[in-house]
């Protein structure tokens, strides 16, 4: 083969963005930690960094798997004789024809799950029983033209078509995941493959070189790499995720120090761009369900970098890296509910094993205690069948230490992210409120500047619906025709009959938070377009001992249509009493009080036929609308939500 030689500030915050150098600080944490010459000095070569047993070390595998050995083998046994799924050309084309991604993704995902489970079962048992099926899977995947998804072929290829094009190599999330899985497969089993036929290993190594290593070294144009990014360009979770996959592959496969150093340093310059795109306060504007593949993937990347350099290249001591980890803990509400903005789901809590490892690396007692609490409630198990074999193996390696950690977690009374503009309040009566400022072009953005969610005793009362199943339209110019993306279906006003608009210029301004007093106010009028005729719309929240008070103080250039204030909820709703809306959910009861002289109340039922939504909220949710009885250019609306 050819080789190529947080300190949290409490009051006025700047406008939130997730853009390259958005907070004005160009950080080069990784490049400051090591240049390419230092890398060449500290790289651990020839896979001696690998902290797991060799395939033939049966004692080592028994110790690593512990009580998970038998369950790992049983999962693999389900795939003995597996019929490998064919991903047809028309499965790729379906994305262009109907927007459906899953027709192509599901069979590929089934193949990946089968191969990963078979590999882990063989590592656990070590008798060769799963080897033929593994070889079949390796051959099958190597015969595919591309490992990239139809949606990502469509968005990343020069032709903008969903069908794989042999003239172009696409580097993306699933392709990278598969490269990582197959690199581990090669590392652990190549000598066993050679006993059957050396061509198996030769073919697999060739495909990994041509599909991952060579294009990663040679190409710079993929947006997620951010090599050509300019201040203001978007950088999101794709960056640490794809770079981590590439880093694993190089450390597992490349034994030329010059080439390895070149690849590692290139990844460092790329991931530095992601660190720049995240605010120093560590907030993840993609939401908690993306944290595992945003900050969580950055942790995996940094952990792999530390392993591969014998601990000589590490930035785990940096405050921003710790802040990024603790975000997932502070966003947890209880009973599996999390603060969800943008495309994030309201259900989650994160991977306790990952959170524990991250917390240990950055020396965060909050993260470690939280992870131990989650582990006690639901013991961590390795994910057998995941393409992310690194996480599976790391879960096993750290399990004993996690099990010995004392569980300790209490929801903070407040959390304030002054740059990302997330604010969470709670009180002793069991109420929890989360709100956001930000702007309407964040990663996985919804037009939701100024929205909030409210929980009582870990039960959602006023909600953020989240997002439905991804289709071609989810990330297209039709994105904001989808109701879940619109401000009208968040807990926000419709001003003069006009909704918020998408774009980075539509943002919160004049943001003022006082965590001690549990108040926050922000001008959300700047998140609406000119046709809303709004001069200023100050929304303020105040958390009391038993209630949440909301005030909208506004000034309009003209009053051309009735204002409408919307609230999204679920459960049982009663509008029969003017001035009071009662909401009852899972035994919790709240009253939303409004001025009956100012508003007419109405309710809209929203049927949920998308499982990504109905699995969280059930078959329907409700939009409560308070429509102003009179049009006025200036005024104040007040709402109080109390426990009953």
0.75 surpassed by pTM: yes
pLDDT at residue 18 is higher than 70: no
How far is the C-alpha of 98 from the C-alpha of 641, rounded, in Å? 43
- 412: tokens are 């903070």
For residue 397, the model assigns a pLDDT of 98
Q: Which of 25-34, 104-113, 395-404, 498-507 has the lowest mean pLDDT?
A: 25-34
Task: Write out pLDDT tens, residues 514-573.
Answer: 988 999 999 999 999 999 999 999 999 999 999 999 999 999 999 999 999 999 999 999
Average confidence (pLDDT) over 593-598: 98
Q: Strands, E, within 94-225: which ranges?
A: none
pLDDT at residue 11 is higher than 80: no
**What's the number of CA atoms in the CB half-sphere (13 Å) around residue 619?**
1
Average confidence (pLDDT) over 478-493: 95
Average confidence (pLDDT) over 82-102: 96
For residue 374, the model assigns a pLDDT of 94
For residue 231, the model assigns a pLDDT of 80
Residues 6+ away with beta carbon under 8 Å from 488: 494, 499, 566, 623
Domains of the chain: 29-277+284-323 (1.50.10.100), 421-643 (2.70.98.70)
Number of Cβ within 10 Å of residue 1's Cβ equals 9
Task: Write out pLDDT tens, residues 29-65.
Answer: 999 999 999 999 999 999 999 999 999 999 999 999 9
Among left, alpha and beta (phi > 0; psi -120 to 50; other), residue 438 is: left
Give the dihedral of Cα atoms 572, 575, 580, 585; nearest 10 deg: 0
pLDDT category, 25, cuts 50, 70, 90? low
Average confidence (pLDDT) over 567-585: 97
- Percent above pLDDT 90 for the chain: 86
For residue 394, the model assigns a pLDDT of 98
| Residues 373-385 as b or e (16 or more Cβ within 10 Å = b) | bbbeeeebebbbb
């Amino acid at each position: 083969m050819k080789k190529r030689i947080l300190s949290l500030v409490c009051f006025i915050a700047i406008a939130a963005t997730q853009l390259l150098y958005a907070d004005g600080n160009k950080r080069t944490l990784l490049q400051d930690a090591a240049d390419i010459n230092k890398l060449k000095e500290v790289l651990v070569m020839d896979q001696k960094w690998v902290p797991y047993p060799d395939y033939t070390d049966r004692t080592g595998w028994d110790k690593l798997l512990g009580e998970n050995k038998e369950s790992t083998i049983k999962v693999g046994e389900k795939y003995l004789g597996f019929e490998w799924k064919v991903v047809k050309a028309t499965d790729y084309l379906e994305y262009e024809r109907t927007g459906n991604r899953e027709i192509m993704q599901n069979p590929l995902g089934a193949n990946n799950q089968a191969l990963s489970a078979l590999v882990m079962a063989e590592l656990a048992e070590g008798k060769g029983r799963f080897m033929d099926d593994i070889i079949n899977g390796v051959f099958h995947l190597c015969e595919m033209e591309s490992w990239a998804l139809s949606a990502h072929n469509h968005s990343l290829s020069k032709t903008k078509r969903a069908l794989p094009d042999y003239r172009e190599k696409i580097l993306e999330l699933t392709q990278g995941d598969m490269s990582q899985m197959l690199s581990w497969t090669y590392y652990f089993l190549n000598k066993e493959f050679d006993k059957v036929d050396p061509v198996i290993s030769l073919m697999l190594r060739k495909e990994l070189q041509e599909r991952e290593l060579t294009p990663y070294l040679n190409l710079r144009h993929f947006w997620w790499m951010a090599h050509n990014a300019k201040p203001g360009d978007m950088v999101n979770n794709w960056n640490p995720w794809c770079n981590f996959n590439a880093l694993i592959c190089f450390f597992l496969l490349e034994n030329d120090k010059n080439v390895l150093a070149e690849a590692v340093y290139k990844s460092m310059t790329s991931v530095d761009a992601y660190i720049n795109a995240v605010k120093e306060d560590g907030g993840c504007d993609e939401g908690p369900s993306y944290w595992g593949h945003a900050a969580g993937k950055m942790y995996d990347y940094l952990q792999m970098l530390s392993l591969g350099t014998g601990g000589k290249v590490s930035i785990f001591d940096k405050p921003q890296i710790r802040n990024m980890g603790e975000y997932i803990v502070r966003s947890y509400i209880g009973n599996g509910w999390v603060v969800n903005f943008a495309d994030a789901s309201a259900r989650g809590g994160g991977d306790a094993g990952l959170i524990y490892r991250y917390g240990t690396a950055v020396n965060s007692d909050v993260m470690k205690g939280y992870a131990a609490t989650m582990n006690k409630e639901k013991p961590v198990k390795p994910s057998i069948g995941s393409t992310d074999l690194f996480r599976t193996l790391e879960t096993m390696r750290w399990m004993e230490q996690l099990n010995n950690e004392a569980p300790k977690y209490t929801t903070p009374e407040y959390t304030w992210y002054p740059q990302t503009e997330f604010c969470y309040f709670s009180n002793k009566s069991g109420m929890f409120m989360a709100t956001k400022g930000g702007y309407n072009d964040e990663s996985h953005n919804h037009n939701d500047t100024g929205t909030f969610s409210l929980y009582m005793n870990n039960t959602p009362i006023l909600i953020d619906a989240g997002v439905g199943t991804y289709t071609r339209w989810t990330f297209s110019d039709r994105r904001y025709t989808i109701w879940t993306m619109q401000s009208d279906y968040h807990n926000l006003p419709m001003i003069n009959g006009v909704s918020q608009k998408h774009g980075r210029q539509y943002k919160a301004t004049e943001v003022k938070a006082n965590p001690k007093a549990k108040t926050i106010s922000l001008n959300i009028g700047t998140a609406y377009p000119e046709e809303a005729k709004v001069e200023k719309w100050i929304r303020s929240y105040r958390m009391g001992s038993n209630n949440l008070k909301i005030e909208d103080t506004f000034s309009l250039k003209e009053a051309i249509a009735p204002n409408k204030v919307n609230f999204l909820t679920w459960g049982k709703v009663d509008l029969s009493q003017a001035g009071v809306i009662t909401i009852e959910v899972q035994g919790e009861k709240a009253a939303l009080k409004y001025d009956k002289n100012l508003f007419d109340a109405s309710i809209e039922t929203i049927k949920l036929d998308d499982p990504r939504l109905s699995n969280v909220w059930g078959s329907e949710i409700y939009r409560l609308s308070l429509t102003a009885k009179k049009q006025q250019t200036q005024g104040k609306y007040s709402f109080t939500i109390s426990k009953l």
